[in-house]
Structure 1
Amino acid sequence: MASDATGAPRAATIHEVARRAGVSHQTVSRYLRDMGPFKPATTERVEKAIQELNYRPNMIARSMRTRRTGVLAVILPSQVDAMPTPTLAGAARAAHAAGCFMEISVVDGTAQDRASRAVELMESGRVDGVLSLSALPGLRDRPKGPGTAALAVLGQFDDDLRGIGPLADASIMADIVKHLAEIGHRNFLHISGPQDWTSARARRKVFEETVAELGLVSCGIVGGGWGPEVGYSAISELAPGSTVTAVVAANDYVAMGAVRAAHERGWRVPQDLSVIGWDNLETGRYATPSLSTVAVDREGQGWQAMSRLIALVRDESSPLGSPEANRLILRESCGPPPT
């Protein structure tokens, strides 16, 4: 371990390793990235210097044993405002549990630009695996090979970081409508999200199909946004004699706007109007009334995605199954219709 001017221990640098081994720092860097070949004597001197200086001990010890860097990269489109934080958090937890580091590479441009960057990373020698949460033209899953990193390509997000695949699964919408019908509701309103989102289109489609299948009454599909003002306007603009008793909203923000508008109209929730949202925001749990909603396991999807990459890096079988994407949570905002 190196020390500073006061004698206190500090982390050694790559230049100190190079000086002790009698080689250039470029040689040490190439050795750490497994970019040989090297003469046996050079390898011996570099390994000895690393051990004596305790240079990045955990990473280096593993690299010496496995020729792996322990670094996993996640490639994302450059939509910073739409960063899928819960999904990335789940991926990071999976990487940490496997003893790896996760880094994020945000790439400007098209899907082809991301594909090019993925190839660069795979051939750089500094990462063991690359995970793309959106499609990469011409690329698909492949295990780690000699001189290249593993690659996992998932269809969880589109080019604008909008959820697709499991994150856009709307099958639970049928369960929502069926539950409301079972407790007596017949007249439904869907306040939808923007229809350029796969998830919003899927929820609308399942809503329409289930209402028709059960012989219920659709009082319309309105909205087209994700904000509370969308739900507020939808309920405020209902005719005075509206027969709607059940509202399924695009998300919790929309649902909370709908509840506010109902309150201003003198309608009680859930005695006069039942409202169900989507996404399970923490604020909905503490609202009055507490909001019925759909919990979306974005962290679980991230964990699953990273676990798939780790299996490719280690040449192991991919984890079986996948986490339940959506789960209905019934709270105070949902009840039988007025009699």
Structure 2
Amino acid sequence: MSDSPKRPATIHQVASLAGVSHTTVSRYLQDKDSLKPKTRVKVEDAVKALDYRPNLVARSMRTRHTNRLAIVLASGAQFPGRLLAAASRTAHEAGYQVEIVSVEGGAGERASRIDELARSGQVEGILALSPVDLTDGAYRVPIVVSSTYDDRLHGLAELADATEMRDIVAYLASLGHRTFLHVAGAEHYASARNRKRVYLETVERLGLRSAGVVDGDWSAQSGFDAVSGLPDDTDVTAVVAANDVVAMGVVRAALARGWSVPGDVSVFGWDDEEMGRFATPSLSTVAVDREAQGRTAVHRLLAEIRGEEIPEPGLRTINHLIVRESTAPPRTAR
């Protein structure tokens, strides 16, 4: 018996197994949605059965296409894994490989790196997720700028939108809560500033009372300290936390004071972290669809590459409220 490695499958073998032409398989690899559903399934099954991997080098030599994209963003401590994973999957499904480029410095440094990539001939398109200072000159490849993160990978745009804070306060008020506390995130984040602002505006607009805003740092300790520091005669019955981590600290401090959650105090978080789903009580929160952002950004870039009309952004928000066990109507007296 020979120990030589198995030769990789060819596009013609895939076509033969699927009962289609090799041209159809090629169309599938470039844009699977262009095929009829029945044909697409047959080709997909053949690709999986043969473990077919397209020869991207040979393809680029024939077509002058590299089938590679670059995603450029700032360097920071909090890497946006969920968004980038969804962006990469979307690109892979369209037949592209993705290079993630994290650049130290500001918008100018990112612009220089983008210019290098555009001139290299190694990529067919570039997606910038942090602001860049691009010149007005023409580039050899399409460049889409989606300023999702700032120079420190802090969320901007939809990630900093605080509209749902109005819904949180209004929902808690509908349960009967009248005195609130907000444990905010770090002030140098746009998302923290926006949530604090909308919280105060909504409390005032609805004629409610805020026992204060505690400027935290996104940590569980900041939530714990905020509730531990409330006076003994406080009438706070609802705490809105900057994120789920802070909310967990709030819950722990409430329990340490002998308060039940949500019997004595309701707690609302933000981010829909997995630990909050399985906590006791499970945490009411705001789910953030970061995957949708990644998919949308790549679809925009692919449209530019193909010369198609860039899809209009949808009206659907990436944030939505999830009500769980940590919120309930307040007791008449603690």
TM-score range (shorter-chain normalised) is 0.7 to 0.9
Residue 96 of structure 1: CA displacement? 1.3
Of residues 74, 85, 92 in structure 1, which corresponds to 2:81?
A: 85
Q: Which residues of 2 match residues 82-231 of structure 1 at below 5 A?
A: 82-138=78-134, 148-231=140-223
Moved more, 133-142 or 161-170: 133-142
Residue 62 of structure 1: CA displacement? 4.2
Partner Cα distance (1:183, 1:203) in 2: 21
Q: Is this contact kept in 2: 1:247–1:275, CA < 8 A?
A: yes
**Rg larger in structure:** 1
Q: Is this contact kept in 2: 1:140–1:152, CA < 8 A?
A: no
Partner Cα distance (2:137, 2:235) in 1: 52
Partner amino acid for 2:222? V
2:50 aligns with none
Measured at CA, do residues 218 and 319 of structure 1 come closer, stay the same or move farther in structure 2, by a change above 3 Å?
A: same
Q: Is this contact kept in 1: 2:187–2:215, CA < 8 A?
A: no
1:249 aligns with 241
1:39 aligns with none
Q: Which residues of 2 match residues 311-326 of structure 1 at below 5 A?
A: 311-322=303-314, 324-326=317-319
Q: What 5-or-longer segments of structure 1 have no aligned partner?
A: 12-55
Partner Cα distance (2:78, 2:295) in 1: 19
Q: Which digits, 9 at most, give the CA deviation of each residue in 1:117-151, with x for residues without a partner? A: 10110111010011110111135898xx7xx1210
Q: Is this contact kept in 1: 2:67–2:96, CA < 8 A?
A: yes
Partner amino acid for 1:170? A
Partner amino acid for 1:69? T
1:330 aligns with 323
Moved more, 319-328 or 67-76: 319-328
User: Given the two structures, how large is their TM-score scaled by the length of structure 1?
Assistant: 0.80
Partner amino acid for 2:55? N
1:43 aligns with none
Tell me the SS of whatever aligns to 2:282. coil
Q: Which digits, 9 at most, give the CA deviation of each residue in 1:213-232, with x for residues without a partner? A: 10100110003211100000
Q: Is this contact kept in 2: 1:107–1:114, CA < 8 A?
A: yes
Q: Is this contact kept in 1: 2:182–2:239, CA < 8 A?
A: yes
Q: Is this contact kept in 2: 1:90–1:299, CA < 8 A?
A: yes
Are 2:315 and 1:308 equivalent residues in the alignment? no
Partner amino acid for 2:108? Q
Q: Is this contact kept in 2: 1:154–1:305, CA < 8 A?
A: yes
Moved more, 274-283 or 60-69: 60-69
Partner amino acid for 1:218? S
Of residues 224, 231, 243 in structure 2, which corresponds to 1:232?
A: 224
CA RMSD between the two structures: 2.0
Q: Is this contact kept in 2: 1:141–1:152, CA < 8 A?
A: no
2:67 aligns with 70
Partner Cα distance (2:137, 2:237) in 1: 48
Measured at CA, do residues 278 and 57 of structure 1 come closer, stay the same or move farther in structure 2, by a change above 3 Å?
A: closer
Query: How many residues align structurally?
Result: 286
Tell me the SS of whatever aligns to 2:280. coil
Percent same amino acid at aligned positions?
A: 51
Partner Cα distance (2:130, 2:184) in 1: 24
Partner Cα distance (2:118, 2:292) in 1: 25
Q: What 5-or-longer segments of structure 2 have no aligned partner?
A: 9-52
Partner Cα distance (1:140, 1:131) in 2: 17
Measured at CA, do residues 189 and 307 of structure 1 come closer, stay the same or move farther in structure 2, by a change above 3 Å?
A: same
Tell me the SS of whatever aligns to 1:327. strand
Moved more, 58-67 or 174-183: 58-67
Residue 199 of structure 1: CA displacement? 0.2
Q: Is this contact kept in 2: 1:140–1:151, CA < 8 A?
A: no
Measured at CA, do residues 59 and 308 of structure 1 come closer, stay the same or move farther in structure 2, by a change above 3 Å?
A: same
Moved more, 305-314 or 61-70: 61-70
1:292 aligns with 284
